[in-house]
Amino acid sequence: MKKNIWIVGCSSGIGLELVKCYLHNGQSVIASARTATASNALLELQRQYSQTLALVDVDVSNSDSVKAAVQKSWSIFASIDIVIFNAGVYESMDAAHWDVAHFEAMANTNYLGAVRLMDAALAHLRAQNKARIVFNASLSSYFGLPYGGAYSAPKAALVNFAQSIQPEMEQENIEIQIINHGFVQTRLTAKNEFAMPELMTPAFAAQKIVDGIAKPYHFEIKFPFKLSLFLTFLAILPYKISLGLTKKFLKA
């Protein structure tokens, strides 16, 4: 069945690959990023899919920009079946090089950006017979790891937010879904100076997400298996053991 899909955060990486996947599958897509209408990659896709791809600029760190993008998106489609929040920024820092501005940017985009979008879109979602909003979180939300707290803390907040609103939204026929995935080879993870287990390509991760969303509804999509299993196990261990294990991740 053909669906209308809005992907927020898709100028590169997983988001861009999600746009490609859905267009290839014959879906109608709105692609949003801060400068979506100036993105060469998105403009090239729009030339190929002129009837099924629309571009809408949005800055998720700005409430007015989010509200304007919501109004424009629902003027393009009378209803939107799936909204995917994929916007994100990332910096890895040790305590000797903390920059509070990076903490603020990650919280403002990765967590509060999703809250702004949900708040602005809620009236439209309620007016539809059925809808789904998908938040792209991270397996790092399971447990805080050395050097990654500025990123994983907002992701953990995003997961907690989704958990808290899911029962309420379900009563209004709005499905809330989260994606917890591992390391993906992007310009963001290229900043990492450590080995990334089970590193995936953006195309592989995007296809896993598309496949997971297409299955009968379940709250969480998580992959890859080994890393998700390890972090799940880490989170249920007593802190004396889990923190002893993560201490081994410190730089020599």
Q: Is the pLDDT of residue 190 over 70?
A: no
Cβ neighbours, 10 Å, residue 86: 23
Q: Give the integer Cα–Cα distance in Å for 223 and 211.
A: 12
Q: Where is 74: in which H helix or E strand?
A: helix 63-76
More confident residue, 198 or 8: 8
**Mean of pLDDT values over 128-136:** 96
User: Average per-residue pLDDT in the chain?
Assistant: 95
Is the whole-model pTM more than 0.85?
Answer: yes
Q: Give the integer Cα–Cα distance in Å for 141 and 106.
A: 13
**Residues 133-178: pLDDT tens digits?**
999 999 999 999 998 999 999 999 999 999 999 999 999 999 999 9
Expressed in percent and rounded to 5, the helix, strand and coil fractions of the chain are 55, 15, 30
The encoded tokens of residue 156 equal 């953990």
More confident residue, 61 or 192: 61
**Mean of pLDDT values over 215-228:** 97
DSSP 154-212: HHHHHHHHHHHHHHHHHTTTEEEEEEEE--B-STTGGG--S--TT-B-HHHHHHHHHHH
pLDDT confidence tier of residue 193, bands split at 50, 70 and 90: low
Q: Give the integer Cα–Cα distance in Å for 244 and 249.
A: 10
Nearest to 184 by CA among 45, 7, 11, 15: 15
The answer to whether 109 and 86 have CB atoms below 8 angstroms apart is no
What are the two backbone dihedrals, phi and then psi, of residue 55, each rounded to the nearest 5 degrees? Answer: -115, 130
Q: Give the integer Cα–Cα distance in Å for 65 and 73.
A: 12
pLDDT confidence tier of residue 199, bands split at 50, 70 and 90: confident
Q: Give the integer Cα–Cα distance in Å for 15 and 29.
A: 12
